[in-house]
Amino acid sequence: MEVTTLSYENLHNHGELFANMFRARHRTFIVQNKWDLPEANGMEFDQYDTPASRWVAVHQAGEVLAGVRLTPTTHRCGIYSYMIRDAQEGLLETIPPNLLFEKAPVEDHVWESSRVFVSEVVPASLRLRVQMQLIHEMVISARRLGATSVLGLIPENSPRLARRVGLDCVAAGPVMDIGGMKSVCVNINMSTKMH
């Protein structure tokens, strides 16, 4: 099992991995969760998949087992910034604007994690290991990008897993039903993980 952080600058080094990640997202979010999201050629994508973002992929033999997207909270592309802030600003119909207790940050040291998934092909016996690999690489990548905090919209039970693996993770908003799933915004403090 390998873990790779992808960027537009290094895609050429990883063959089909980037496309396979979008295919795995398609299977997870569109086929399995039945979310109405943009798609093309069996790949799911949105307005936040820009050169400013990074994508962490856990993969084996070319198959993507899990992934997460990291986006700087300072980035803008047209009217869009990052998913949580845009939802709060009322730009997204599918995510309620009251998802945060406070105003969404726009800070160099804060990044957003989004499109977090573990593929349905991962057997129960390997899920924790895959999740741990994903979280570990996300922390390394976020720190390398200068993040001291990561803001994410994750399934309601994920903060327990995050704390179990040593992440300082606190709710940043109420638990909400989003796309048929109970989800919550969290702040993950990276500074406690800095060495």
**pLDDT given at position 195:** 42
What span, in angstroms and rounded, lies between the C-alpha atoms of 191 and 149?
7
**pLDDT given at position 81:** 96
> CB neighbours of 1 closer than 8 A, spacing ≥ 6?
58, 59, 60, 65, 129, 130, 133
Eight-state DSSP code of residue 93: S
**pLDDT given at position 159:** 65
- Give SS3 for 26: helix
Which of 190, 93, 96 lies closest to 147, judged by CA?
Answer: 190
Q: Which parts of the chain sit beneath pLDDT 50?
A: 194-195
**pLDDT given at position 194:** 44
Query: Where are any strands of DSSP class E within the chain?
Result: 2-6, 39-40, 43-44, 54-60, 63-72, 110-118, 149-155, 168-171, 176-178, 181-189
Q: Which top CATH class is 2-193?
A: alpha beta
**pLDDT given at position 192:** 60
> CB neighbours of 100 closer than 8 A, spacing ≥ 6?
84, 88, 172, 173, 185
Question: Is this structure's pTM higher than 0.85?
Answer: yes
User: What residue ranges do the domains of the chain occupy?
Assistant: 2-193
Q: Radius of gyration of the chain from Cα atoms?
A: 16
